[in-house]
């Protein structure tokens, strides 16, 4: 009875997919909650003050909605990567922790975007953070592709490659918006919307490819 215990001791402190999933769930939950911390309307205002404060809160609500929807997708994608991962490597673990660190940072650029959307630095910082998070997820998918799907022609492997291309496209859109922010901040933020039709076109193109 003591031999199995002795064998498991060296691995007790090693991060497993289950532990990383629990850690990521906690960090995502905290980050999502912190997004709305600064969205508020002061109490005891008259009608004019209330409507003015409500109007001033709208940019914060918009930034919260944008970041929450993106974080929801990141969380879903993160679980999709981790739940199918049979084993971990130190590089994969470091990438996961880097991605979680960027997620924990996201409430800061979200707050800046809500308050200073007309400043190129605020828009660029937000876009840069999104570029980095997307980039980490793309790297994780590429590093674990063969480990998760040994057969590159399987439908699951093909779907995973399509998903990787879509995430890479999102990273590219946010990256291109960084220099655009220093020309026109509104144009840079509007450029983010191109992610939606781009994802649709990639999915449509992928479905039309001949199956092996």
Which of 104, 81, 91, 94 is closest to 17 using CA atoms?
81
Q: What is the mean pLDDT of residues 183-190?
A: 95
Q: How many whole angstroms from its chain centre is CA 162?
A: 17
Tell me whether residue 60 is exposed, middle or buried, using C-beta atoms within 10 angstroms of its C-beta: 0 to 12, 13 to 18, 19 or more: buried
Integer Cα distance of 149 and 205 in angstroms: 22
Average pLDDT, the chain: 80
Pair of tokens at residue 145: 């592709």
pLDDT mean over 106-129: 92
Confidence of residue 114 (pLDDT cuts 50, 70, 90): confident
Q: How far apart are CA 145 and CA 155, in angstroms?
A: 13
Collapsing DSSP to helix, strand or coil, 189 comes out as: helix
pLDDT of residue 100: 92
Tokens at 81, concatenated: 């990567």
Report domain extents, the chain.
2-208
pLDDT digits (tens, 9 = 90+) for 118-177: 999 999 999 999 999 999 989 988 887 776 665 667 776 777 788 888 899 999 999 999
DSSP code for 200: H
Give residues with Cβ within 8 angstroms of 37, minimum separation 6. 107
Distance CA 44, CA 11 (A): 57
* The predicted structure's pLDDT at residue 24: 86
CB atoms within 10 A of CB 30: 13
pLDDT at residue 11 is higher than 50: no
pLDDT of residue 169: 94
| Sequence-distant (≥ 6) Cβ neighbours of residue 121 within 8 angstroms | none
Quote the radius of gyration of the chain (alpha carbons, Å): 21
Residue 128 is predicted with a pLDDT of 96
List the single range of 1-15, 33-47, 101-115 with lowest mean pLDDT: 1-15
Q: Which region among 24-33, 36-45, 101-110 has the lowest average model confidence (pLDDT)?
A: 36-45
64-90 tens-digit pLDDT: 888 888 888 888 877 777 777 766 678
Decide which of 212 and 156 is more confident. 156
Q: What is the pLDDT of residue 150?
A: 59
């Amino acid at each position: 009875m003591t031999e199995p215990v002795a064998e498991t001791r060296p691995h007790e402190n090693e991060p497993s997919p289950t532990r990383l999933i629990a850690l990521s769930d906690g960090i995502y939950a905290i980050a999502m909650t912190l997004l709305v911390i600064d969205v508020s309307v002061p109490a005891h205002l008259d009608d004019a003050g209330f409507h003015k404060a409500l109007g001033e809160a709208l940019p914060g609500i918009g930034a919260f909605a944008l970041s929450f929807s993106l974080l929801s997708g990141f969380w879903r994608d993160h679980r999709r990567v981790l739940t199918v991962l049979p084993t971990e490597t130190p590089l994969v673990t470091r990438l996961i922790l880097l991605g979680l660190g960027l997620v924990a940072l996201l409430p800061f650029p979200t707050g800046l975007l809500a308050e200073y959307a007309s400043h190129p630095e605020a828009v660029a910082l937000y876009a840069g953070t999104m570029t980095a998070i997307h980039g980490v997820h793309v790297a994780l998918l590429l590093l674990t592709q063969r480990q998760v799907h040994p057969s590159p022609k399987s439908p699951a492997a093909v779907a995973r490659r399509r998903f990787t291309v879509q995430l890479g496209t999102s990273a590219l859109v946010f990256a291109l918006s960084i220099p655009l922010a220093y020309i026109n901040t509104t144009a840079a933020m509007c450029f983010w919307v191109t992610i939606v039709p781009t994802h649709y076109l990639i999915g449509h193109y992928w479905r039309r490819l001949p199956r092996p």
